């Protein structure tokens, strides 16, 4: 069980690097979706003592939203918005990978300073959560397309979810469902907004949105 959890967390951390290193938007969307699918398995593995109904519901909801609905929405936006499926980052790919490595190291250092909770089942949980959070911030800052910003938010939520798992026994279902719902609404609205931006302006580069015009 612990082996499986560790494996999933390591895979999730590697997917962070895939998002940082890939130049294909499509591959990034799939990577974040796969990360969501992996994380949705975790509550079931981490929950000790029988399967509670609300944990199964949470996993199923997360799997459906992050694994299927969000990627489908984003891929549809990508297709309909007729945008270039390539990422043009402010920081180069090699540099982003190095920044990602540094972020992961920082995450491990930080989490070694934190007091460990007795309910924590895997020692990788907190470092993985922090690494995902930090790398999602890097993605948010260094990628200028509106779509990649959505991806950054999704990764951020994955990181927050991992943090929530440290308290998996007592995590209130309502809170997590609320977050998922917010996220769903957010991605849905952003999908529509991006679509309209690209209809209006021929591009979805947020870099150009910083200058005001009449």
Which C-beta is closer to another protein: that of 13 or that of 165?
Answer: 13
Distance (Å, whole) CA 89 – CA 142: 6
Which C-beta is closer to another protein: that of 92 or that of 178?
Answer: 92
Which C-beta is closer to another protein: that of 13 or that of 83?
Answer: 13
Which C-beta is closer to another protein: that of 34 or that of 195?
Answer: 34
CB of 1 to another protein, least distance (A): 14
Which C-beta is closer to another protein: that of 21 or that of 186?
Answer: 21
Q: Please name every residue paired with 24 in a beta bridge, in sequence order, or none if there are none.
A: 86
CB of 42 to another protein, least distance (A): 15
Q: How far is CA 12 from CA 130, 136, 209, in A?
A: 12, 12, 32
CB of 65 to another protein, least distance (A): 27
CB of 93 to another protein, least distance (A): 5
Site for another protein, rule CB under 8 A:
3, 6-7, 10, 13-14, 17, 21, 93-94, 97-98, 100-101, 104-105, 108, 112, 123-124, 127
Q: How far is CA 6 from CA 1, 10, 12, 204, in A?
A: 9, 6, 10, 38
Which C-beta is closer to another protein: that of 81 or that of 100?
Answer: 100
Distance (Å, whole) CA 128 – CA 192: 31
- Which of 138, 132, 130, 136 has the alpha carbon at shortest distance from 153? 136
Counted residue by residue, the chain has a size of: 214
Task: Please report how the helices 125-142 and 93-113 are oriented relative to each other, as an axis angle in degrees rounded to 10.
Answer: 140
Q: How far is CA 124 from CA 11, 55, 98, 118, in A?
A: 12, 21, 21, 14
Interacting residues of 212 by C-beta distance below 8 A, sequence separation 6+: none
CB of 182 to another protein, least distance (A): 31
């Amino acid at each position: 069980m612990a082996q499986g959890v560790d494996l999933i967390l390591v895979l999730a951390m590697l997917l962070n690097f895939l998002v940082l290193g890939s130049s294909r938007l499509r591959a990034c969307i799939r990577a974040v979706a796969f990360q969501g699918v992996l994380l949705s398995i975790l509550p079931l593995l981490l929950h000790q003592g029988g399967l509670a109904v609300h944990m199964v519901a949470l996993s199923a909801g997360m799997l459906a939203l992050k694994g299927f609905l969000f990627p489908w929405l984003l891929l549809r936006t990508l297709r309909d918005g007729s945008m270039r499926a390539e990422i043009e980052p402010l920081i180069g790919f090699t540099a982003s990978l190095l920044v990602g490595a540094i972020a992961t190291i920082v995450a491990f250092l930080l989490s070694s300073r934190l007091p460990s909770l007795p309910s924590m089942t895997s020692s990788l949980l907190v470092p993985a959560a922090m690494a995902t959070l930090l790398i999602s911030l890097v993605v948010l800052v260094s990628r200028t397309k509106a779509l990649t910003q959505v991806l950054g938010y999704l990764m951020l939520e994955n990181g927050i979810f991992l943090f929530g798992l440290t308290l998996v026994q007592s995590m209130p279902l309502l809170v997590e469902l609320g977050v998922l719902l917010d996220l769903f609404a957010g991605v849905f609205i952003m999908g529509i907004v991006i679509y309209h931006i690209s209809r209006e302006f021929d591009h979805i580069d947020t870099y150009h949105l910083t200058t005001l015009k009449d």
